[in-house]
Amino acid sequence: MTSSDPTERLRADLDPATTVLLTVECQRGVVGDGAAALPELAAQARSSGALHRIARLVAGAHRTGVQVVHAVAERRPDGRGSNRNARLFRAAAKLSVQQHPGTPAVHIAPPIEVTDEDLVVRRLHGLSPLAGTGLDALLRNLGCRTLLITGVSANVAVPNAVFDAVNLGYTAVVPEDAIAGVPAEYTPAMVRHTLALVATVTTSDEVLACWRRAAQPRPGAGPGLTPG
């Protein structure tokens, strides 16, 4: 029977064995503290604390055994395979900072730490880390039931990821303080009026609290049963 207690439901949804933490476009060329393609977005991700909270969530996931996947947006220097069917794509092609494969712009931005166990999914097209990237198959092979979605931007990629996750049958969970968009006031309005209709909206502290509880030994369990 499903619990009617929202906290208990969240704990169940965030079971480390069936949860994947997804970071969306948390790369140097997007949210880095140096050259970034969209300086206003990079500044907002940092000044709001969202990038720091994403780093805390990633560290918590590593401690608790939750799989981390980093979704990175790239564009070949010749533009092959990239979309041209929207104003956003045409504008991106003209930016001074390009997300070219193999360059520092597509490396995950500090303070987020990447371990050997993390997966990195790269895309050359579209708006969503889940559409045509192979990520859905990876998630299913990992036994994922809940996708915890963080990153940027709250304007485009994050809502696309949420909608695609829900359409594919996953439970989407969004820590509202671990996403960012521009202008600053847009993000809470989008969360309240759009994402809250299809995803479980929570905070990074609540997620970490659920994982800390999951890591505690069950009453009567031996010390060897505590997750690392």
Block mean pLDDT (10 aa), the chain, length 228: 76 97 97 87 96 98 98 94 88 88 96 98 95 96 98 97 98 98 97 98 98 78 43
Q: Is residue 65 part of a domain?
A: yes
Q: Is residue 7 part of a domain?
A: no
- Residue 180 β-bridge partners: 152
- The per-residue pLDDT for 2 is 53
Q: The CATH number of the domain where 122 resides is what? A: 3.40.50.850
Domain of residue 98 covers: 19-133+142-213
Q: Is residue 178 part of a domain?
A: yes
Tell me if the pTM is above 0.85.
Answer: yes
- Residue 202 β-bridge partners: 175
Q: Which two tokens stand for residue 94?
A: 């003209």
- The per-residue pLDDT for 223 is 47
- 107-141 in b/e form (b: 16+ CB < 10 A) is bbbeebebeeebbebbbbebbbbbbebebbeebee
- The per-residue pLDDT for 219 is 59
Q: What whole-number distance in Å separates Cα of residue 203 and Cα of residue 178?
A: 8
- The per-residue pLDDT for 228 is 38
Q: Is residue 206 part of a domain?
A: yes
Q: Is residue 26 part of a domain?
A: yes
Looking at the structure of the chain, the number of domains it has is: 1
Q: What whole-number distance in Å separates Cα of residue 27 and Cα of residue 114?
A: 12
Q: Is residue 1 part of a domain?
A: no
- The per-residue pLDDT for 141 is 98
Q: Is residue 157 part of a domain?
A: yes
Closest CA to 200 of 172, 167, 176, 164: 172
